């Protein structure tokens, strides 16, 4: 329980796919440790790169193209993110999932509703945010803090429209 399990499952899936691809191509022998390290480190590097895309889209949604580009550019040169994105560790995957949850949450918060209760689209976006937050927590426990933002948005909606709290959504 010192390390949550999602990263290990992702690595198992990626290594299984790489082994299946090796068999399909007819490559002899088992994958070496250095081959496994390259595959897992490449997976995490991809997660770090995808985080830039998610962050760009969230910044773009909040304040436009320039801000989206700036936020992604700042993360692209952030030393900690760059360093952690090339190790086969949990941080880059957690960052991707946390930003994915926040991007869904921002989209839900900025989506128009009928004024009485959150729309179906907002409800679905909050559900996706919760899924991404749960996966982030399953990657690294301190990512559970993103759940506070999800709960805060729900409370804001209830505070603005108390009658909407009676809806099953």
pLDDT tens-place string over residues 132-165 = 999 999 999 999 999 999 999 888 878 877 765 5
State percent of the chain over pLDDT 90. Answer: 71
The residue among 22, 2, 18 whose CA lies nearest residue 10 is: 18
Kind and range of the H or E run holding 116: none
Question: Token digits for 70?
Answer: 């700036």
Q: How many helices (H) and strands (E) does the chain have?
A: 7, 0
Question: Token digits for 158?
Answer: 């209830």
Spatial separation of the C-alpha atoms in residues 76 and 144, rounded to whole Å: 24
Question: Token digits for 142?
Answer: 């301190």
Kind and range of the H or E run holding 28: none
Q: Where are the beta strands (DSSP E) in 19-140?
A: none
pLDDT band (50, 70, 90) for residue 107: very high
pLDDT at res. 122 = 86
Long-range contacts: 3-9, Cβ < 8 Å, 24+? 3/90, 4/90, 4/137, 4/138, 4/139, 4/140, 4/141, 5/138, 6/93, 6/135, 6/138, 6/139, 7/89, 7/90, 7/93, 7/139
Residue with tokens 């480190």: 41
pLDDT at res. 75 = 95
Q: What predicted TM-score, i.e. pTM, was given to this entire model?
A: 0.88
Tell me the pLDDT tens digit for each residue of 62-98: 999 999 999 999 999 999 999 999 888 999 999 999 9
Tell me the pLDDT tens digit for each residue of 7-53: 999 999 999 999 999 999 988 878 999 999 999 999 999 999 999 99
């Amino acid at each position: 329980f010192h390390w949550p399990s999602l990263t290990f499952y992702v690595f198992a899936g990626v290594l299984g796919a790489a082994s299946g691809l090796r068999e399909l191509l007819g490559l002899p022998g088992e994958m070496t440790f250095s081959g496994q390290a390259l595959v897992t480190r490449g997976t995490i590097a991809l997660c770090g790169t995808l985080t830039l895309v998610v962050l760009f889209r969230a910044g773009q949604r909040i304040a436009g193209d320039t801000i989206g580009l700036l936020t992604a550019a700042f993360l692209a040169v952030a030393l900690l993110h760059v360093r952690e994105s090339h190790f086969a560790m949990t941080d880059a995957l957690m960052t991707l999932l946390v930003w994915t949850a926040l991007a869904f949450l921002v989209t839900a918060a900025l989506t128009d509703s009928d004024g009485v209760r959150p729309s179906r689209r907002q409800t679905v976006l909050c559900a996706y945010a919760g899924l991404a937050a749960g996966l982030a927590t399953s990657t690294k426990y301190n990512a559970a803090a993103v759940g506070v933002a999800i709960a805060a948005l729900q409370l804001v909606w209830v505070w603005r429209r108390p009658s909407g709290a009676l809806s099953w959504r």
